[in-house]
C-alpha cells in the first residue's frame, strides 16, 4: 500500500480488555465493568459510510481495528469477514492474551496485514504499566506472527531484534496522570532521537524494520 492511495481509519470496536493500563483513556473516570459495544449491523452501516467517503475523495479504505482488545469483540470474526468480503486491508492493534497460532492463521486468511502490540519499556516497567506477565506474553507471541520509559527504549530495540519481531515503531508518549513531571524537555527528546537513530543505523542489517512514525523525526 502507498500513503497516497489509501485513507486509514483507526476504529475502536470494543472497550473490553484484560488489561487496565495506567495510561488508558478508555477507562479514565469510568465504571471499569461497563462495556457497551455496537452490534454488527451498526458497524456495517458505519463501514458503508466510510467506504462511500473514500470513493468520493478517490482514495482506498484501510482500517486499523483496535479497542480495548479487538479479539474480545463478541462478533469479531463476522466483522473481519465483512472487511474481507469488501477487500479492505486491515491491521489489528491488540494484546497478546487471546492470540494463538490458529487465531493468527485465521487473521491472515481474512487479509490481516499487520498485528501490532505495544511494549512500554523493559519487563519491570511494562508490567507495572500494563499487567503482570504482559511483557513475556507479548514477546512469546512473535512465533505466532513472524512494538517506555524514554531511557529504556534503546535497550528495548535490542530485545525486539533478538526476539525476531518484523517491525519496531514508537510514537507519541501518553503519560500516566501522575507522571507529567517525567515528560522530557525538547532538548532531551532531541538527544533521544539522536540515540535512536544511531541504534537504528547499527541494526539496519537485521531482520527488523524500523519505522519512523513519530512526526518529530521530520524535524530531526
Q: Which residue has the higher pLDDT, 33 or 220?
A: 220
Quote the mean pLDDT of the chain.
86
Which parts of 38-122 fold into alpha helices (H)?
A: 40-56, 76-85, 101-109
Task: Give pLDDT, residue 210.
Answer: 94
Q: State the SS3 of 8-45.
A: EEEEECCCCCCCCCCCCCCCCCCCCCCCCCCCHHHHHH
For the chain, the distance separating the N- and C-terminal CA atoms, rounded to the nearest angstrom, is 26
Task: Give pLDDT, residue 147.
Answer: 37
Burial class of 33 by CB neighbour count within 10 A (0 to 12, 13 to 18, 19+): exposed
Task: Give pLDDT, residue 114.
Answer: 87
Is pLDDT at 2 greater than 80 in this prediction? no
Percent of the chain with pLDDT over 70: 86
Q: Which residue has the higher pLDDT, 26 or 48?
A: 48
pLDDT tens digits, 133-142: 999 999 888 7
Instruction: Answer yes or no: pTM beyond 0.85.
Output: no
Task: Give pLDDT, residue 80.
Answer: 97
CA atoms within 13 A on the CB side of 8: 12
pLDDT tens digits, 103-162: 988 998 999 988 998 888 899 999 998 889 999 999 888 767 653 567 788 988 999 999
Cα separation of 52 and 59, whole Å? 10
pLDDT tens digits, 199-215: 999 999 999 999 998 88
Percent of the chain with pLDDT over 90: 50
Task: Give pLDDT, residue 146.
Answer: 52
pLDDT tens digits, 86-101: 999 999 999 999 998 8
Element spanning 66, H or E:
strand 60-66
Is pLDDT at 181 greater than 70 in this prediction? no
Amino acid at each position: 500500500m502507498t500513503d497516497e492511495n489509501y485513507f486509514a481509519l483507526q476504529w475502536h470496536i470494543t472497550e473490553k480488555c484484560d488489561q487496565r493500563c495506567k495510561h488508558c483513556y478508555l477507562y479514565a473516570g469510568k465504571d471499569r465493568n461497563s462495556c457497551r459495544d455496537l452490534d454488527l449491523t451498526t458497524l456495517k452501516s458505519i463501514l458503508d459510510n466510510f467506504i462511500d467517503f473514500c470513493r468520493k475523495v478517490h482514495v482506498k479504505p484501510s482500517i486499523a481495528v483496535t479497542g480495548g482488545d479487538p479479539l474480545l469483540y463478541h462478533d469479531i470474526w463476522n466483522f473481519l469477514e465483512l472487511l474481507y468480503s469488501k477487500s479492505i486491508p486491515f491491521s489489528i492493534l491488540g494484546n497478546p492474551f487471546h492470540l494463538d497460532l490458529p487465531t493468527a492463521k485465521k487473521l491472515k486468511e481474512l487479509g490481516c496485514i499487520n498485528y501490532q502490540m505495544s511494549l512500554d519499556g523493559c519487563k519491570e516497567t511494562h508490567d507495572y504499566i500494563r499487567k503482570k506477565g504482559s511483557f513475556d506474553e507479548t514477546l512469546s507471541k512473535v512465533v505466532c506472527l513472524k512494538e517506555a520509559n524514554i531511557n529504556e527504549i534503546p535497550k528495548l530495540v535490542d530485545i525486539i531484534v533478538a526476539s525476531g519481531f518484523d517491525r519496531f515503531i514508537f510514537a507519541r508518549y501518553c503519560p500516566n496522570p501522575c507522571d507529567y513531571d517525567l515528560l522530557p524537555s525538547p532538548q532531551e527528546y532531541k538527544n533521544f532521537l539522536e540515540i535512536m537513530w544511531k541504534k537504528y543505523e547499527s541494526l539496519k542489517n537485521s531482520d527488523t524494520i524500523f519505522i519512523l512514525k513519530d512526526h518529530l523525526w521530520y524535524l530531526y
